[in-house]
Structure 1
Amino acid sequence: MATKIFSPTPPVISSTSATTKTPVLPKAIVSRCLGTSLSAVVAATAVLTMVPALPAAGEGNQAYKLYYGTAASAANYGGYGGNSDRKTSAEYVYDVPEGWKERLVSKVEKGTNGTDSEFYNPKKRTEKEYLTFLSGFRQLAPRDVILNNLALSDVELQDLIAGADKVVSEEKKDEETGQVYYLYEIDGVGKHSLITVTCAKNKLYAHFVNAPAPEWNRDQDTLTHLRDSFKTVSSSS
C-alpha cells in the first residue's frame, strides 16, 4: 500500500473529489481527561477481563494480557453484570503489557469524549494506550481526512502533528476477516504516537499508543506490538 507523509502544518482536508459525503468527527474524541477526579474513577464500574498473550519475537521477556473491550454506550455502562462473559460481548481486543495499570473510565467521561478503555505504564504515566469510539460511522473516509478530523477534535494531537518531523500513514487489511485499518505514525517533538482507526458495527474505533521520546526509543518494539495487536471482533468470533 502507498505510504503518505503529511506536512507538519495545521491539518488540511484533502481536496480529492469523492462521491460520498465525508463524515466529520464531532468533538467527541478529545484530549484525555487527565484531571478526572479520584471519586469519578472509583465510581467507574468497568470490568477487566484479560488472558495471557505471548510476546512477539524480538521483544525479550515482555509478556502481555489480552484485553476485551465492549464499547458499550454510556447509558449501558457497567450494565453487563458480574456473571456475564465479557469475552462473548467484546467488540475489540488489544494486548496490554504485564505490569501496566488500568485507568478506569467514568461514565461521564465515556459519554463526553468516547473513551472506552485506557492503560498506562505506572513508571511513566504518559506512556499509555487507550481506545475511543463513536457511533454512526458505516465506513472509513480517506486516510488524510480521518487524521485531519481527529486532529481538529484533539488539540494535543493537532499540536503534535503541527510540530512533527514525520507523519506516515498506511492502509492495512486483515487477510482473515477482510477488515480494513488505517495506521498512522507521528514522530513529534518529544513524543511519538501510533494510531489505528477502523469502522465496524456502525462505529468508528480509534486506538492510540503514545509515549515520550525516551520511552519510545526504549520500548519501540513493545509499543509497536501494542499497535499491531488491536483488532475488532466479529459477531461470529
Structure 2
Amino acid sequence: MIPEAFRVVRRSEEYAGTFTLHIEHKGGKPLASFAPGQFNMLYAFGSGEVPISMSGKVEDSGTYVHTIRAHGLATQSLERLRAGDELGVRGPFGQGWPMQEVADKHVLIIAGGLGLAPLRPAIYSLLSGAQPCRSLRLFYGARGPQEMLYTDELRHWQTQIAAVLTVDQADDEWHGAVGVITGPLAASSIDADNTIVFLCGPEVMMRFCVQTLLAKGLPESRIYLSMERNMKCATGHCGHCQWGPQFVCKDGPVFNYGSVRPWFKIRAL
C-alpha cells in the first residue's frame, strides 16, 4: 500500500494531452515482473494516485512504460513530469490477458483509442514468439489520424501482421478505412471455433464489437475484455471498483465476457 519512489527516464508525446512515461526505480531496485494486461498505481506527489495499464515489453526488466491521457488532477500532474522527475508507484496489480490460452489459436486484437495501450504488451509477446499462436490480427480504431497511438510501431506491425486501421474522421492525408471499427470487423472472416479475442476500448465500442463477434458465432468464453473503473486501493479492500460481485482491481481488469455478461449489459454500472 506504500508507493515506492521512481523517476522518469524518458517522456514522449503521443498526441496533445496523451503521453508515454518510461520510469525506473529510484534506488535501482529490480522491478517486479508483470503480465500483459496488468496495471500500476501511479502517484503524483501532492495530487493523487491513478491506475494506469502497463504498456511496455514484459521482458524489459529495467523500466515500466505507461501511456497516460491527462484528464484529472493526478494525470495532469503526471503530464508535467519530465526526465529526472519523481513519482510514486505501487504494483503491478490485477489479472492480465490469458496468454496461456493463445496456443494453437487465431488471436484477434481489437482496440479503440487509448485501449491499444493495455494491449501493447500482449502484441509484443505474440510477435516475439514468446506466446506462439496460429495467427495474429489487429483491428484498431481512433477518432482521427492524429489521435492514434504508437504510429511508428503501427507502421512496423503492418509489415508483420494483418492490421486494419480505421478513423471516425479522416483528413486529406489519411488513406485507410473510415468509420467505426465494427465495420471492417463485421466484413472480416473469423474461424469461430479456433479464435480468441482480446478487446479494449471505450465501453460503447466494446459493446458493439461483442455483438458483432457473437453474431459471427464466436463463443462468449473466447472473448476477453479489459475494463476501466474507479480503482483506489488496487487490492479489493476499498470497494470503489466493485462491479457486480467482483472487483475490477483484483478480479480484473481483464475479464472473460461470459463471466461478466450480466453486468456488462447494464449501462453505467
TM over 0.5: no
TM-score (norm 1): 0.28
Q: TM-score, normalised by structure 2?
A: 0.25
Larger gyration radius, structure 1 or structure 2: 2
Higher relative contact order (CA 8 A, sep 6+): 1
